[in-house]
Amino acid sequence: MPTPSAQPDRLTARGWAILLVLSSAIFLEGIDISMMGVALPSIRADLGMSTSSLQWVVSAYVLGYGGFVLLGGRAADLLGRRRMFVLWLTVFLLFSGLGGLATDGWMLIVARFATGVAAAFMTPAGLSIITTTFAEGPQRNRALLIYAGIAAGGFSLGMVTGGLLTSIDWRWVFFAPVLMAAAILVVALRLVPHDTPAARTSGGYDVGGTLSLTVAMLLLVYTVVMLPEVGAGSTVLTAATGLALLALFVTIERRSRTPLLRLGLLRSAPLVRANLGAMLLVGGFVGFQFIAVLYLQEFRGWSETQTGLALMILGLDAILAPTLTPVLVRRFGNATVVVAGLALAVVAYALFLRVGADWTYAAMLPSFLVLSTAFALAYGPLTIAATDGVAEEEQGLASGVLTTSFQFGSALGLAVVSAVVVAGSGTEGAGLDTFRTALLVPLAAAVIGVLVTGSGLRRRTRTAAPTEPAELIAAEVSA
């Protein structure tokens, strides 16, 4: 794999071009997810879907994404990162277009599931291309912070974009990603470098591990997304079956000559902390967005466009992540910035606990500003920490594990918050007390995130800190 720059902390023009192509793909994936929430009421009205079937427009995507993302990460290592990125970006394009052409609810749900599967293969491939193209250290850190900032911006700006597109026609929520994906595909074919897939031994592919892991992830994600909809018996049954299949997967991997997932990767305490932090950060953020949308649209009666414009300030992280965060990482270290970001999330959620029946936008703005800053500080450094120190032939797998953490955290945060809102809602909908109770979920997630990531920071401070800036960053990331 060619090195984009001879300088350890600078990117060449070609390096920037590759980074922007891959960042555009993750921006597309983020905006595709968040646009859907604003468009759901219009989709229900046009296709005549019931409330129970409507939630599957979102859940089918999460199920496909979460169920196949670890397999997608390993496929990038074994079959070629560029090949997987280009192939599944094409599938993403095709099924997003099919969703826009859907004339019945079931067609839309199938299209969303297939789009989620495509994202599960495309996203870890794209991230692992970055981690193997740019040299480990300041250069890779800078690339990952820019990548993560653009990803966060897509996720945050999706709501306002979705509101504006839905005001024209909800089908543009699907057609707009088709146009963007087509442009990315054309440029990617020219710029993304070819790579050599990892060598295989005579043991062949780990079919048993692949099947057991994929079905286990499907069942566990299904358990989470259906948590507010089904009884305790069904939840326990699907969760227990999923965990049993995970145990079978571990047994297979221990005995396999060519394992799908090298279990030693999961024994790294820094990587485990980073992935737990990622799960808690995104879970809290998604849960908070859901509460904010319900408060603005159902309680206050704001339109989709008004809601999207109100939440647009959360997209400030797209500016802060590639500009402010790298400076702070160089000055204070990666681990410190992660903890600071999660601590700011605690402050943001706590501020919104005072939400009132007639709050002005000025009253909401401090929470939104602090939260956008928190997300900008924590998201990118967590991405660095979750892929640092991993061998090149396992970068796709490490990226898949991180993406799994993001997706599972998102599904879990949304499911728990939804369950709290449903439990507290009366016949006329949720009230302020219900919203305040639900806000305790993202607040608790952020507090736990501070404790988890802060434990690594405390361990790091017991050792002597390097004096050189490049060494300092490397030590912070690996802490």
What CATH number is attached to the domain comprising 150?
1.20.1250.20
**What is the structure's pLDDT at 76?**
87
**Judgement on whether residues 135 and 266 belong to the same structural domain of the protein:** no
> Of 163, 193, 223, which residue constitutes the final position of a domain?
193
Count CB atoms within 10 A of the CB of residue 386.
28
Nearest to 15 by CA among 189, 192, 145: 192
Residue 245 lies in a domain: no
Nearest to 261 by CA among 66, 73, 414: 73
DSSP SS3 for 390: coil
Ramachandran assignment for 463, one of left (phi > 0), alpha (psi -120 to 50 degrees), beta (any other): beta
**Judgement on whether residues 437 and 301 belong to the same structural domain of the protein:** yes
Residue 389 near residue 355, CB atoms below 8 Å: no
- The encoded tokens of residue 126 equal 């794209």
Count CB atoms within 10 A of the CB of residue 267.
9
**What is the structure's pLDDT at 51?**
59
d(CA 319, CA 397): 29
Surface-to-core class of residue 232, CB atoms within 10 Å of its CB (0-12 exposed, 13-18 middle, 19+ buried) = exposed
**Judgement on whether residues 184 and 295 belong to the same structural domain of the protein:** no
d(CA 131, CA 134): 6
Residue 8 near residue 470, CB atoms below 8 Å: yes
Q: Dihedral of CA 407/412/415/420: which sign?
A: negative
Residue 205 lies in a domain: no
**Judgement on whether residues 406 and 269 belong to the same structural domain of the protein:** yes
Residue 234 lies in a domain: no
Nearest to 373 by CA among 418, 423, 414, 319: 319
Count CB atoms within 10 A of the CB of residue 255.
9
Q: Which domain holds residue 80?
A: 12-193
**Judgement on whether residues 177 and 325 belong to the same structural domain of the protein:** no
As averages over each run of 10 residues, the pLDDT of the chain (479 residues) reads 52 87 90 79 83 73 82 86 94 94 92 93 91 84 83 76 85 93 94 75 65 84 77 89 91 82 78 92 89 85 81 82 86 92 97 91 94 91 84 78 83 82 67 90 96 78 44 38
**Judgement on whether residues 173 and 266 belong to the same structural domain of the protein:** no
Q: Dihedral of CA 321/323/328/333: which sign?
A: positive
CA distances from 136 to 24, 98, 392 (A): 22, 40, 10
Q: Give the single-character DSSP code of 385.
A: H
Residue 289 lies in a domain: yes
Residue 344 near residue 377, CB atoms below 8 Å: yes
Q: Dihedral of CA 134/477/401/40: which sign?
A: negative
The helix (run of H) or strand (run of E) holding residue 319 is helix 317-332
> Of 178, 193, 208, which residue constitutes the final position of a domain?
193
**Judgement on whether residues 168 and 309 belong to the same structural domain of the protein:** no
**Judgement on whether residues 172 and 271 belong to the same structural domain of the protein:** no
The total domain count for the chain is: 2
- The encoded tokens of residue 189 equal 């074919």
Q: Give the single-character DSSP code of 468.
A: S
- The encoded tokens of residue 60 equal 């089918």
**Judgement on whether residues 160 and 279 belong to the same structural domain of the protein:** no
Q: Dihedral of CA 151/215/286/179: which sign?
A: positive
What DSSP letter does each residue of 399-423 carry, written as one string? HHHHHHHHHHHHHHHHHHHHHHHHH
Residue 118 near residue 91, CB atoms below 8 Å: yes
**Judgement on whether residues 163 and 16 belong to the same structural domain of the protein:** yes
HSE of 178 in the Cβ direction (CA atoms, 13 Å)? 13
d(CA 188, CA 86): 7
d(CA 352, CA 359): 10
Count CB atoms within 10 A of the CB of residue 245.
20
Residue 177 lies in a domain: yes
Nearest to 77 by CA among 260, 224, 253: 260
Residue 449 lies in a domain: yes
**What is the structure's pLDDT at 204?**
55
**Judgement on whether residues 391 and 291 belong to the same structural domain of the protein:** yes
Residue 227 lies in a domain: no
Indicate the residue type of 344: L
Q: Give the single-character DSSP code of 193.
A: P
Q: What's the chain's Rg over C-alpha atoms?
A: 21
Q: What value, to the nearest 5°, has the Cα angle with vertex 395 and ends 392 and 319?
A: 120
Phi, psi of 12 (to 5 degrees): -80, 175
Residue 396 lies in a domain: yes
CA distances from 393 to 89, 109, 214, 261 (A): 22, 35, 21, 12
- The encoded tokens of residue 342 equal 């999660």
Q: Is the pTM of this model over 0.85?
A: no
Residue 119 near residue 112, CB atoms below 8 Å: no
> Of 166, 193, 220, which residue constitutes the final position of a domain?
193
Nearest to 323 by CA among 160, 150, 137: 150
**Judgement on whether residues 271 and 179 belong to the same structural domain of the protein:** no
Phi, psi of 252 (to 5 degrees): -65, -40
Surface-to-core class of residue 250, CB atoms within 10 Å of its CB (0-12 exposed, 13-18 middle, 19+ buried) = middle
Residue pointed to by tokens 């000559």: 257
**What is the structure's pLDDT at 248?**
93
